Amino acid sequence: MRTSDSLRKTYGETLVELGKDNKDIVMLEADLGNSTMSSLFGNAYPERYFQMGIAEQNMASVAAGLALAGKVPFINSFAVFATGRAYDQIRSSVAIANLNVKICGSSAGLSDYGDGKTHQSIDDIALMQVLPHMTVLSPCDAVESEMMTKAMVNEKGPMYLRINRNDLKIVTDPQAEYHIGKMTEMVQGNDVVVFATGIMVQQSMEAAKLLEKENISVRVVNVSTIKPLDVEALQMYCEGVKAVVTAEEHSVIGGLGSAICSALSQKRLPIGIVGIEDTFGTSAENYSILLKHFGLEAEDVAKKVRSVLSVR
């Protein structure tokens, strides 16, 4: 049961809960357990918790071996290291073999605001979604974090979970049914559809409110499974609208925007992408400064909506 609005704490607690009955769940950590919250699992089940030290490459391949032995390994680190540092290990040992390894990229996007560009992931979605067999999940709040963690255990195959370091406002209905691949309409509207993921879901919902005052009706859809993308649902949500906007806390290259542009390439709809413009992050004293600086506020989404509407 969720005890807070923290996505990472919820992730850790959910695995502790699942690990009670499912003895195959094992966790691997590269010395960031108090941030990724894998330490909760380590405290509960020390015999199934492998502290691998600061050696992410070894950790990823060891997880592949554990999966070969029938275990359900979760590897944990910051998103930059979990994906980038161990990229070839994930590609070769895990993805090619289609093994049941779960990768938790914590402190994703700019959410580790103080630590700066080496620790902020603007490329993790790109790296993971290009790999065949890989599922890419991006929860927008702690409710989704819990639902996704459960689904990751229930479904086989390599999966990447991208987790925000900071508490996010709950926008998901805890009673709603969840499955991997699900797209959720958060706000109804018919002029423009905004496909958003992660923290940009709440920003886009706020943008819809701002635009309502200008008589622009915006539909907001939470795309929390970036891969496999439910193209049918995507097209359905495009019915009747004049334009599309995508929104993500990730580079505009290779992320949700890229995936949606490919999926909708046959549609004659203008598409605008809100994201980080081909640049690395930077340190700041709080998260809000970065969201403002990189154009990831509600007003930035609203601006993009106005701009795509003016395209003829």
Partner 1 sequence: MNYSQQTINELKRKAIQVRSNILEMIPPGKVGHLGGSSSIADVMAALYFHTMKVNGNDPKNPLRDRLIMSKGHAVLVQYACLVELGYFPREELSKVKTFNGMLQGHPDMDRTPGIEAVTGSLGQGLSVSLGLALGLRLDHSSSRVYTILGDGELAEGQVWEAVMAAPDFKVNNLTAIVDWNGVQATSTTKEIFPIENLEEKWKAFGWNVLVIDGHDMVQILDALDRAKTYTEGPSVILAHTVKGKCFPFAEGKAKYHNASMTEEEYQTAWSCIEKMKREVEA
Q: Is residue 41 a contact residue for partner 1 (CB under 8 A)?
A: no
Tell me whether the omega of the peptide bond preceding residue 270 falls within 30 degrees of 0, making it cis: no
Q: Is residue 88 a contact residue for partner 1 (CB under 8 A)?
A: yes
Is residue 102 a contact partner of residue 150, using CB atoms and an 8 Å limit?
no
Is 56 part of the annotated catalytic residue set?
yes
| Nearer of residues 88 and 277 to partner 1, judged by Cβ | 88
Q: How far, CA to CA in Å, does 136 sit from each of 153, 197, 233?
A: 14, 11, 17
Amino acid code (one letter) for 265:
S
Q: Is residue 263 a contact residue for partner 1 (CB under 8 A)?
A: no
Applying CB under 8 A, the span of 92-100, 218-226, 251-259, 287-295 interacting with partner 1 comes to 92-100
Q: Is residue 65 a contact residue for partner 1 (CB under 8 A)?
A: yes
Taking CA 155 as the corner, what is the angle to CA 238 and CA 159, rounded to the nearest 5 degrees?
70
**DSSP string across 46-79:** GGGEEE--S-HHHHHHHHHHHHHTT-EEEEEEEH
Q: Is residue 130 a contact residue for partner 1 (CB under 8 A)?
A: no
Applying CB under 8 A, the span of 64-72, 213-221, 257-265, 272-280 interacting with partner 1 comes to 64-72
Q: List the one residue from 64, 200, 201, 247 that touches partner 1 (CB under 8 A).
A: 64
Q: Least distance to partner 1 from the beta carbon of 97, Å?
A: 4
Taking CA 25 as the corner, what is the angle to CA 22 and CA 26, rounded to the nearest 5 degrees?
150
Q: Least distance to partner 1 from the beta carbon of 16, Å?
A: 18
Q: List the one residue from 44, 68, 171, 210 that touches partner 1 (CB under 8 A).
A: 68
d(CA 238, CA 309): 14
Q: Is residue 26 a contact residue for partner 1 (CB under 8 A)?
A: yes
Q: List the one residue from 5, 17, 44, 71 that touches partner 1 (CB under 8 A).
A: 71
> Which residues contact residue 72 at a Cβ distance below 8 angstroms, ignoring those fewer than 6 apart?
22, 24, 25, 26, 100, 102, 153
Applying CB under 8 A, the span of 94-102, 175-183, 240-248, 293-301 interacting with partner 1 comes to 94-102
| Nearer of residues 60 and 136 to partner 1, judged by Cβ | 60
Is residue 198 a contact partner of residue 108, using CB atoms and an 8 Å limit?
yes
Applying CB under 8 A, the span of 14-22, 67-75, 163-171, 230-238 interacting with partner 1 comes to 67-75
Q: Least distance to partner 1 from the beta carbon of 61, Å?
A: 3
Applying CB under 8 A, the span of 50-58, 134-142, 215-223, 261-269 interacting with partner 1 comes to 50-58
CA torsion, points 252, 255, 258, 262, in degrees to nearest 10?
Answer: 180
* Residues facing residue 103 across a β-bridge: 75, 160
Catalytic pick among 29, 56, 146, 297: 56
Q: List the one residue from 35, 57, 217, 282 that touches partner 1 (CB under 8 A).
A: 57
Residues 150-189 contacting partner 1, CB under 8 A: none
Is residue 201 a contact partner of residue 171, using CB atoms and an 8 Å limit?
yes
| Nearer of residues 70 and 268 to partner 1, judged by Cβ | 70
> Which residues contact residue 153 at a Cβ distance below 8 angstroms, ignoring those fewer than 6 apart?
15, 18, 22, 25, 72, 102
Considering only CA atoms, which of 223, 290, 282, 206 is closest in space to residue 257? Answer: 223
Interface residues toward partner 1, by CB under 8 A: 26, 47-48, 50, 52-53, 55, 57-58, 60-71, 73, 88-89, 91-93, 96-98
